[in-house]
A = this chain, B = another copy of it.
Amino acid sequence: MKFKTVQTLQKIATLIDAKFVGDQDFKISGINEIHVVEPGDIVFVDHPKYYGKALESAATTILINKEVECPNGKSLLISDDPFRDFNKITKHYYPFISSKESISASAIIGEGSIIQPNVFIGNYVTIGKNCIIHPNVTIYDNAVIGDNVVLHANTVLGADAFYYKNRPEGFDQLISGGRVILKDNVHIGASCTIDRGVTGDTTIGDGTKIDNQVHVGHDTKIGKKCLIASQTGIAGCVIIEDGVTLWGQVGTNSGITIGKGAVILGQTGVTKSVPGGKTYFGTPISESREKLKELAYLKRLIREEKKR
């Protein structure tokens, strides 16, 4: 997430009441999670195990719970609770704004697009040309929708990431300020849920078609021309490359990658990353051919066992 205008180290330090290391006018242009940081960004780290990764990342300001040596050309924000203060910054620059109307006056809706009754469209949503948004759809703030997109009834774009820190007193949510981006020609079935990114975007590529009751987690990237059948659940931070087919009721772990053109058969649990161009089946996941051979051997073993 980028700020609307560039901020200074001192200004952010004052906002979160933190000590800082670096020039008071050091420029800060945004705030992001470690996997999507760019120069100008703040990143946060609260465990010594990840200090190195955060300090060496592309981020140029590190919000950290120990006063370590500041890398060259970077700055530090020292906080006793970086997670809390990261949330404080997100809340300040990306506040939740409640809506009085079903369709926000700040939403932009392209020529030829049809919005059916009972739809909710939040603040600063952009919808392209010749889209159809069916009844009872909910589109949270800041979503970006391309041309020729169809959203079937009761689908939800942009609910919060399911991302919590376990504290003794309760789960503490990492506040989501990211977006949902649907490229041109995407079709989404009825009653799907596509979560926003935490700080980045959840993106669905051009021409991808999704059936009913599919869940897509935060910050997941789905490629072009994929087919995703009903009741499939894709976790957060997943990468699905172009031309992938997921049949019904597939589930995935978070953070995995499914290679280009892979086919995942129904009810499979994608427990790890898999290369493209092949067909997979089962939980834990195997190549479909291997799995079928295994099942056949197993039948033979059992038949022989029965004879004894």
Indicate if the CB atoms of A190 and B156 lie closer than 8 Å. yes
Decide yes or no whether A160 CB sits under 8 A from chain B.
Answer: yes
A209 to B136, CA, bound (A): 24
Decide yes or no whether A8 CB sits under 8 A from chain B.
Answer: no
A12 to chain B, nearest CB (A): 26
Indicate if the CB atoms of B230 and A213 lie closer than 8 Å. no
Indicate if the CB atoms of B217 and A162 lie closer than 8 Å. no
A189 to B213, CA, bound (A): 14
Decide yes or no whether A50 CB sits under 8 A from chain B.
Answer: no
For residue A100, which residues in chain B have a CB less than 8 angstroms away from its CB?
Answer: 117
Give chain A's interface residue range (CB within 8 Å of chain B): 35 or more
Given A193-B213, A306-B297, A116:B135 Cβ within 8 A: no
A155 to chain B, nearest CB (A): 8
Cβ contacts A187-210/B at 8 Å (1 or 0 each): 101110101000000000011010
Decide yes or no whether A300 CB sits under 8 A from chain B.
Answer: yes
Residues of A within 8 A of B (CB): 96, 98-102, 114, 116-118, 120, 132, 134-138, 140, 150, 152-154, 156, 159-160, 162, 164, 170-171, 173, 185, 187, 189-191, 193, 195, 206-207, 209, 211-213, 215, 217, 225, 227, 229-231, 233, 235, 248-249, 251, 253, 266-267, 269, 283-284, 294-295, 297-298, 300-302, 305-306
